[in-house]
Amino acid sequence: MADRDFREEFVHFAIQRGVLCFGEFKTKAGRLSPYFFNAGLFNDGDALARLADFYARAILASGLSFDVLFGPAYKGIPLAAATAVALAALGRNTPFSFNRKEAKDHGEGGSIIGAPLHGRVLIIDDVISAGTSVRESIELIDGADATPCGVVISIDRMERGTGSLSAVQEVTERFGIPVVAIATLDDLVRYLGHHPDQADHLAAVEAYRARYGVGS
């Protein structure tokens, strides 16, 4: 129940911040979605601190074993840094690193900044769409002779991609690593179901899930 509580708490927080909003939005796949999630709107100190706390709680609840956090440029950089701070506040002090888009040939050089990539590396990102960021992160981690052990994202839309699998399921199948989400489409539906004033949004989201959704 505690896990469910923080997941629905996250959905409430995202709605309050305007990060999660309802209406009619065209997705990259050309579908008309009744909701939209824009993690870029977690854009002040308080919001980032609260978001990082949700990441930390989701990571600890997952039971994943990890040694280093890695934030892929660019969105993953503040997420990994802030999550490391949040984990330390919860008693789990963890090194973190991130990458540059282009390697430097002067100063400290290279493309990785922060702690060395070693042992089990946990990737911190906002969402998974095409999986490109995950693939690039895994290549960097493999190149450092470390082991990617999972990916943590803010929300899993649980929606079919080009085939029968969701983007999250495709990452798990292709790379053999788990993906942990703070909240999923199931959590959104559960939250809406607990709020009678959101009945119209619930009906639209459930209809969309019935048409495009996948199982967990």
Determine how many CB atoms are found less than 10 A away from the CB of residue 182.
25
Q: Is 101 a catalytic residue?
A: no
Structure tokens at 197: 């004033």
Q: Is 201 a catalytic residue?
A: no
Determine how many CB atoms are found less than 10 A away from the CB of residue 16.
10
DSSP class of 198: G
Q: 185, 156 in Cβ contact below 8 A? A: yes
- φ and ψ at 44, to 5 degrees? -135, 175
Which one of 104, 118, 195, 201 is the catalytic residue? 104
The SS3 of residue 193 is: helix
Alpha-carbon distance of 125 to 151, in angstroms, equals 7
Alpha-carbon distance of 195 to 110, in angstroms, equals 50
196 CB-near residues (< 8 Å, 6+ apart): none
- φ and ψ at 36, to 5 degrees? -140, 140
Which one of 12, 26, 28, 106 is the catalytic residue? 106
Q: Which residues are catalytic?
A: 104, 106
